[in-house]
Amino acid sequence: MKQYTIAVLGATGAVGTQMLQCLDEQQIPIGELRLFASARSVGKTVEFQGRSVAIQEARPEAFAGCDFVLGTADDAIARELLPKAVDAGAIVIDNSHAFRLDPDVPLVVPEVNGADALNHKGLIANPNCATIIGLVPTWPLHQLAGVTRMVVSTYQAASGAGAPGMSELEAQMEAIGRGEEVPAPKAFAAQLASNLIPQIGGFDDEGYTSEEMKLQNEGRKIMHLPDLRVNCTCVRVPVFRSHSESITLEFERDITVDEARAALAAAPGVKLVDDRVAPSAHDRYPMPIDTSDQDLIWVGRVRRDISNPNPNRGITFWCCGDQIRKGAATNAVQILKLLAQ
């Protein structure tokens, strides 16, 4: 079996660290692993598969000889360095926002449009976390009845802001527990502990945030539905990891609740948890406490959209998925696995 030289750009962050675990779990055949980060991390080491790997400074020349590069740096660094990795002959799978809507760059969720990854020019984009979590269960229903419209509310965990976001929430919760003054927010617009923040990203002229527009713009590209209508509200919630979403879909063809449940139960990457009479709440519907640190999107509360004027054309459901894993690192490694054949 071929052994690959694989690099991770941004290896010391929350997603980069998770990518290493996913590479091990997915049994990617790695001959050489290169870990890149900023200059302040140079000299640190990371244990991987029984060996100690030193962190290197991210420089254009460092990508020479790499087969794959997993990018999890910010947009500016991605734009500066990742095209250099492509020029050096690597296939890049990038988790930043920098290239997602570039028409020459495939934007891929393997369960939805995995074939798009095969038509790349050296660079493949990993979608936004909320987009991935929402589209994995939406896709099998689209295949069944043709989605025309999505109305979505997201409940996004602190992990969406990386390790600093999770640390900030933890510090705030501990302060509240001790009866102390809550530290001033840095990672978020306001205190997140004991609170909800209905803003992720900056506002546009219509009053929508950049995070809210990603589901529409990325969803259209991934599902090849340029006219898909999406209305999204994104909310940051005091949960450490695992995003949740309430999704209402409108279809061009009739679909029953039983058909929707059957399609979801059979869909790759989906776990149906939808037993209203189960003794335990953990078996009635998905919750972030159950869906963290695993790779499936759990779906429940599947029901007819009673607000739709055509009662057979609307389905509502609730879903949860781990933002760091399937919403970021796992999806990128799954794309790599499609190509490392």
Dihedral over alpha carbons 69, 70, 76, 81 (to 10 degrees):
-10
Q: Are 6 and 17 in contact (CB under 8 A)?
A: no
Q: Which residues contact 288 (CB under 8 A, 6 or more apart)?
A: 157, 239, 241, 242, 243, 244, 320
Of the residues 22, 66, 129, 232, only one is catalytic, namely: 129
Instruction: Output the furthest CA–CA distance in the chain (Å, rounded).
Output: 62
Nearest Cα residue to 62 out of 28, 87, 98: 87
Q: Is 129 a catalytic residue?
A: yes
232: annotated active-site residue: no
Q: Is 232 exposed, middle or buried (0-12, 13-18, 19+ CB in 10 A)?
A: buried
CA dihedral for 299, 234, 241, 6, sign (positive or negative): positive
Q: Are 271 and 298 in contact (CB under 8 A)?
A: yes
Q: Which are the contacts of 256, defined by CB distance < 8 A and separation ≥ 6?
A: 312
Single out the catalytic residue among 120, 234, 243, 319.
Answer: 243
- Known catalytic residues are 129, 243
